[in-house]
Amino acid sequence: MMKKMIEIPIEVLERLVEGKCVEGSLRRDQWTGKMVFRAYCRQRRMNNERLVCALENGWLKESPQRIKFFSSVKKGVGRRLVEVAMHRELKQAMSVLEVEEILDNV
């Protein structure tokens, strides 16, 4: 049986004492030869998107930095009908954006 010392930062140790799960990587430091645990610094996902309108085959959402348009149509209906459906939804989304801009300026 081999015993090794593992270096763990204080912040990670505090989270372990609180009973939280800590994801990270355990490696041997090439310079010191010691085992080192480095926790992943993951940030929480911010979901600040507001649904502007729900479309027939998609949606239009607004986030703090972007306006997102999504449309999904089955391939089986044919290329021409896909184009028509996507253009129709884009026009509908654009009209909703224009109405919102008018209401914001009033």
Residue 1: inside a domain:
no
Q: What is the pTM of this model?
A: 0.56
Say if residues 60 and 50 touch (Cβ distance below 8 Å): no
At 88 the pLDDT is 95
Domain co-membership, 33 together with 58: no
Number of domains in the chain: 2
At 61 the pLDDT is 95
Residue 86: inside a domain:
yes
Domain co-membership, 34 together with 54: no
Domain co-membership, 64 together with 33: no
Question: Could you list the pLDDT tens digit for every one of the 106 residues in the chain?
Answer: 777 778 888 988 898 899 988 888 888 888 888 888 888 887 877 788 999 999 999 999 999 899 999 999 998 999 999 999 999 999 999 999 999 999 888 8
List, edge to edge, every strand of the sheet that includes 58-62: 50-54, 58-62, 67-71
Residue 44: inside a domain:
no
Domain co-membership, 54 together with 97: yes
Indicate the residue type of 60: L
At 70 the pLDDT is 96
At 66 the pLDDT is 93
- For residue 19, give its domain range: 6-39
Domain co-membership, 61 together with 82: yes
Residue 45: inside a domain:
no
Angstrom distance (rounded) from CA 98 to CA 106: 13
